[in-house]
Amino acid sequence: MLSEAHYSFLPRCNVETIIEWRDIYGVTTVVLAASLLVGGLFGWLAERSDYCARSAYDELATITSQTGRGQFNQLWQVAIAGISAIIAILIASQLDLINIESARQYKAPLNLFGLFFGTLLFGVGMGLSRGCVSRLIILSGRGNIRALITLVFLSLFAWSAISGVLAVPRITLASLGQIEYSPVLSNSLFAIWVLLLLAAIVMVARRGGADQPVKRAIMATFIGLLVPACFFVTSVIGADEFDPVPVEGLRFILPVADSLGYFVYSTALTPKFGLGLVGGAFIGAVLSAKLSGRIVIEGFNNAPHPLRYILGAFFMAFGGVIAGGCTVGWLLTGGSVLNGGVLIAFAGFGLGNLSLRLPFINGFLNSEMATSSV
């Protein structure tokens, strides 16, 4: 419950204002409005900066063979956003601005095998679909029909993996080879993760730097700051005594499933934080793309076969639910709460995405999923 005693850092008027808004409009409405704002900021920033974790992995694969300004824009942004989220969460937690103890990624131990296997599948899926979940939302806002259709299938598969026919195989696979880790191991893995982020920033700077590095760094920093913003919305604004909101960070697998569920059963369901996050991200991407003149309607004409995108949606959804998060959910939120599992997730995402470069897999995709004229 939100109280002045617990959140003494907030001015008295702010505490009273939040409580008053909740009493007048209800916690669901206030949290939904706040999540729309946070999602809108993410959509705007991600569209303007072309923020894309999959592209960062592609850049990382060529970092030893390419140099020059602008060659590693996404790696620069993802690394800075990760560091920004970590610092922001540490400061906000020390000041008691947020409460992350109930967040899923904060809880340990985790099943390392399930985490790696899930992120590996997700990595394959984002490679097939040419974008992770958040990227598909941004591309949909630009008018990319391929991304929108992929997002719909992804939402359906994720919903099924959470509570439908895919739930049983998902639970079975997630429980195989359970390897749990201690807080000591988690801290060690997290320390390695921080070193990797810093090393990525230094390597990009030494190899020519990003295009418009300061502007991209600022936008990436603000993307990282949205992680504690999500925790503030759900753990502080949503801390109603009788109807508390589950504590969530910035992530998109569960939110897209919740959004589809609400779209289908809106009269029977209460809108959740994830609905506002996804809806806000889409609206923010549309507004940003419209103002910058980047809205272009694109279909499947001269694009890879639609089956490739549907398979990608399945692997991302199924793997993401097993892993408990997408690239944003782990590389930003998971890392920010000091969970060492972020290093395992980073490896899984990368290996899954890069596996599509293997000759026999690449050859199969090029031969069996040829260009579509749909």
Instruction: Return the minimum-mean-pLDDT range out of 77-86, 89-98, 139-148.
Output: 89-98
Rounded-to-integer distance, Cα 255 and Cα 260, Å = 9
Residue at 6 is within a domain:
no
The stretch 17-31 carries a mean pLDDT of 80
pLDDT tens-digit profile of 37-67?
A: 999 999 999 999 999 999 999 988 887 666 6
CA atoms within 13 A on the CB side of 226: 28
Residue at 2 is within a domain:
no
What is the number of domains present in the chain?
1
Tokens of 142: 């630009």
Say which residue, 21 or 318, is predicted with more confidence.
318
Residue at 4 is within a domain:
no
Residue at 1 is within a domain:
no
Quote the pTM value: 0.90
Of 21, 45, 85, which is closest to residue 230 (Cα–Cα)?
Answer: 85
Domain span including residue 67: 12-372
With vertex at residue 76, the alpha carbon angle to CA 48 and CA 251, rounded to the nearest 5 degrees, is: 65
Residue at 273 is within a domain:
yes
Residue at 3 is within a domain:
no
Residue at 151 is within a domain:
yes
pLDDT tens-digit profile of 108-136?
A: 556 788 899 999 999 999 999 999 999 99
